[in-house]
Structure 1
């Protein structure tokens, strides 16, 4: 029976010979990233918006205050252009080997750097990005819930932020059992709409408040060293805001693809829509927030805005809904990695119970870390520089140079090397500022307060 099957299959699709055994196929159909491939291009648009426009946008006015007008505007715009370019490269590279799809970031790394080295280069960075985003989103969700509670009920008894993080986590103990990317598309769409909504509230409420009487645009730090360190930290905050690359191949993997109509067409359309939304969210919030409040702005713009009460309460609730979606988008590739290792390496049988236990343990782990280290702004700049800069700004360029080998001194060669140099500078400088701020904030911090 089998001997008749093979040639027929090969005749049927010369480009895509499926060499997997029935068991491997069953496992791939069970894993979250490869189980469903019928997404439309607009799925990629809102998945990308949800992945990109995270809580980072609320810290942008604060980053502007540390960068100043000139450098701030330049860094925001250059980051937008560079990350759009590196995202385009990743979309292009998803299917550059005929008949093969790089469904996960590390598979692309393995193609470029080799089986073993590719895993070691990409997986630790990608895991650090995704897990750190999940931890930061636990904190953001808890903070925004607490803020909502305090605004709506100012005379109520104060509740610890720790409990709000627990409340936020309880949602994920349920949602994290949705099997794959397509099953969270509803959550993701809601999140994308929310991100546009709360960004609009943030800048329009700032405009409504007007430029503050004693507004100052000078650097906040009194010493030169303080100013320099803050500048470094702000670079990390901007890098954090542009961090959707870590899930882009995984999102593209959900789009159907044929040799005539490859997935990069619909994916790129979705990415462009997402980047227009990103510009509409980021630039007004960053520039208007800084223009109105100067260097007195908080590391979360919604904390600076106290009035009108109902609007700011709504915005905080929007943030909570958005972060629920974002958490799921970043958790899905982690679930995929954990489940792949358990099923393929450790030979566990794919089952509901396996998924139930691993995913609950992961949510509990991120909740615990979020409750233990809730230094929101400092975490942004530390992780932003340390792991977001490589995966977003220059790793795609390195892979592109290795795989496509553009001619020396050609435009593509120059562009990629420029991105690599900028990215490496960012990776070195940003964590220094972030680490210093974590140390300063940790001095006055009480655990589980």
Structure 2
């Protein structure tokens, strides 16, 4: 029984399998393809260590966050439907605004970045087919703007799914395709490594670029950015509570979510270490920013990998977008409670089982407008991945570390200046330093991108 007298009336159908799919989709993004480059900036000694270190941090703070879904008791307490609800109810309203701004800015920024990345992946497929048919010297320039428009149109349709629980099938597809392109990139790297007959790379950090004319400061920025890339590759704390809210109440949601977190982060860590290290060993100091960009043959396999990236990001877009849709519609409904615009209509279909469709004008217009706006921004600023890196760097410490640790301290009433409290503060301090230095590296990368990028122009 909940403290408020019973269930909230909402039927939840989520299971361990759907939670793993959602979590795996949220954790694993196309950023996995940049991990070999990140390992290269850190070298053989520090690179693998950092991969494992951030996996442990992310997993530990995530399982603490699982106990904050219900308050004050993690099993029988009141539900916190969103991350912001948990922060407000446990830490108070002062922290709510900062959490909301960071969470939804990062979610929206990720959606914009996914729009750009999908267009690049599909355009790359078209270009590699052109190279295969006409030769490597052929002019095979491809524009990505059309693919952004098509991607946006697909998301307008998919955005009409009622909530995150109803897009579980997209998360399953996204999880499978992310596994596919990561596995293809790993196999291609192993094949290249076997043909090289040697392990490439350097032991020390910041030695990945052999260009002696490159400024030392640029190498340092790359090291900083590598820390941020690896730290952010694991994070999904901004969606953990929302995923947990899709689960059935029995068995207890926190226990199921902890298992889902273990499988999701454990599986991604194996991929991250394997691909990061194998890719670096195969390419050494010549590692490309996107590991798939280093392969052209067999062209059909490379194309499958790029298409898998695109399919994965179609589902991941909705995993990140549904919480934004939900909060906007909730705010609108609270301001216009009696308006026909916010009324939910139930339509019964003339079929044997008589299924129903729940429809609201505010959902149709708000979600459509939001997707169109997201697509337009992606087309205006195709270098947005650099800005996304900055947003992510600044959000890593508060969303993944500070808020989960602070909520758990209050929830479990850990005494101030106790041994456990001091350990949590030290962990938080390390992570805030990582956020700062990775933010500096992302700013430097963004400035470089601004020099080369053009508005409404994304060509390969």
**TM over 0.5, shorter chain:** yes
How far apart, in 2, do the equivalents of 1:126 and 1:338 lie? 14
| Aligned position for 2:91 | 113
Aligned-pair CA distance for 1:204 = 0.9
1:274 pairs, out of 250, 264, 273, with 264
User: Are 2:343 and 1:350 aligned?
Assistant: yes
Partner of 2:16: 41
Do residues 219 (structure 1) and 208 (structure 2) align?
yes
Count of residues paired in the alignment: 421
User: Which of these residues, 167, 175, 179, is aligned with residue 196 of structure 1?
Assistant: 179
Point out the structure with the larger helix share. Answer: 1
1:59 positional shift: 1.1
Which runs of structure 2 are paired with 1:238-257 in the superposition (5 Å)?
A: 238-257=230-249
Structure 1 residue ranges, 4+ long, deviating more than 3 angstroms after superposition: 13-16, 153-159, 211-217, 345-348, 407-412
**Residues 168-179 of structure 1 correspond to what in structure 2 (within 5 A)?**
168-179=151-162
Which residue of the other structure, out of 17, 41, 53, is the alignment partner of 1:66? 41
2:351 aligns to what? none
1:262 and 2:262 equivalent?
Answer: no
Distance 2:303 2:200 in 1: 25
Q: 1:93 — aligned with what?
A: 68
Match of 2:111 in 1: 134
SS in 1 for 2:78: coil
What does 1:296-307 align with in structure 2 at a 5 Å threshold?
Answer: 296-307=286-297
**Structure 1 residue 409 displacement after superposition:** 5.5
Moved more, 224-233 or 313-322: 224-233
Secondary structure of the corresponding residue to residue 159 of structure 1:
coil
* Equivalent runs, 1:147-186 vs 2, <5 Å: 147-154=124-131, 155=134, 158-186=141-169
CA contact (8 A) 2:199 2:282 kept: no
Deviation at 1:216, TM superposition (A): 4.9
Gaps spanning 5+ residues in structure 2: where? 345-359
> What displacement does 1:376 show?
6.3
Matched residue, 1:428: 436
Residues 358-380 of structure 1, C-alpha deviations (whole Å, 9 max, x = no match): 11111112111222222365345
Deviating more after overlay: 384-393 vs 328-337: 384-393
Give the superposition deviation at 1:250: 0.4
Deviates more, 1:386-395 or 1:321-330: 386-395
Q: Which among 222, 228, 233 is matched to residue 230 of structure 1? A: 222
Take 1:278 and 1:376, find their aligned partners in 2: how far apart are those partners? 25
Is residue 36–residue 182 contact of structure 1 (8 Å, CA) maintained in 2? no
What does residue 448 of structure 1 align with? 456
Structure 2 Cα separation of the partners of residues 178 and 434 of structure 1: 34
**What SS does the corresponding residue of 2:67 show, helix, strand or coil?**
helix
- Give, in whole Å, the separation in 1 of the partners of 2:16 and 2:199: 48
Match of 1:283 in 2: 273
Take 1:203 and 1:14, find their aligned partners in 2: how far apart are those partners?
47
CA distance in 2, matches of 1:386, 1:338: 24
TM (norm. structure 2) is: 0.86
Contact kept? 2:390, 2:439, Cα under 8 Å = yes
What is the TM-score of this pair, normalised by structure 1? Answer: 0.88
